[in-house]
Structure formats: structure tokens, C-alpha cells
């Protein structure tokens, strides 16, 4: 992660395919909200209608916002979340990641020098 881990919002993103909608997934969904609260996490996207524009999409996207990337990482590593994580991973083909957000007013042109420097 960059040095922005405490200065900008952080996001946890997951892409889930082939979800087995069973009792374990139901338990996961019932319990995840309580794991987010101590870290200031909130759902921004949780499934919903996906409108593919490029490439093949065959699953659902989940996006959770946190006050910082550090908070997102701490949430994922927390005992509360780790206790239920296998309920998701054992019942879906999924990928998950944590990523840095950008500061207010950010514009893509702001990154040109950093990208060009390599």
C-alpha cells in the first residue's frame, strides 16, 4: 500500500462468482455488518444489477468503504471477520482486495508525473 493508508478512504472490493446460496452464505450475510462497525466500514455496492461494458462479467461486485486503507486492512485481519471469511470463500469462487482511495478533488491528470516516472 502507499503512504496514503491513513489519509484517504480505503476500500475492500470483492468479485464473487458461482455463489452457492446456502445456510453458510446466509450466516455470513447476517454476521458481516457487525464486523464492519468497529472499523467504520459501510457498503457502497453489494451485488445489484451489473451492466457489463467491456469484457465478460459473470458474478457480483461488493465494495465496502472505510475511513482509511489501514481501517480496511485491520477489518479484514480482525478476528471477527476472519471467523466468518471461510463462509464466503468455501461457498463461492471469489477474489478480494483492499485498495487506496483518492483524496477529495483528485483528478487523473494529478498522477501523470508519478506514472511517467515509473
Residue 109: CB atoms within 10 A of its CB come to 7
The CATH number of the domain covering residues in 10-117:
3.30.70.100
Q: Is the pTM of this model over 0.85?
A: yes
pLDDT in tens, 56-105: 998 999 999 999 999 999 999 999 999 999 999 999 999 999 999 998 88
Residue 15: CB atoms within 10 A of its CB come to 16
Which residue has better confidence, 25 or 110?
25
Which residue has better confidence, 34 or 107?
34
Of 47, 45, 40, nearest in space to 78 by CA: 40
According to DSSP, the β-strands at 10-17 and 93-100 are antiparallel
Amino acid at each position: 500500500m502507499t503512504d496514503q493508508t491513513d489519509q484517504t478512504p480505503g476500500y475492500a472490493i470483492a468479485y464473487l462468482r458461482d455463489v452457492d446460496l446456502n445456510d453458510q452464505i446466509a450466516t455470513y450475510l447476517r454476521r458481516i455488518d457487525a464486523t464492519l462497525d468497529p472499523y467504520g466500514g459501510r457498503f457502497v455496492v453489494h451485488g445489484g444489477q451489473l451492466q457489463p461494458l467491456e469484457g465478460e462479467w459473470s458474478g457480483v461486485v461488493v465494495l465496502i468503504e472505510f475511513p482509511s486503507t489501514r481501517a480496511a486492512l485491520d477489518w479484514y485481519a480482525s478476528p471477527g471477520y476472519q471467523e466468518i471469511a471461510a463462509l464466503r470463500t468455501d461457498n463461492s469462487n471469489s477474489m478480494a482486495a483492499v485498495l487506496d482511495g483518492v483524496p477529495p478533488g483528485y483528478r487523473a491528470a494529478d498522477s501523470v508525473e508519478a506514472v511517467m516516472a515509473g
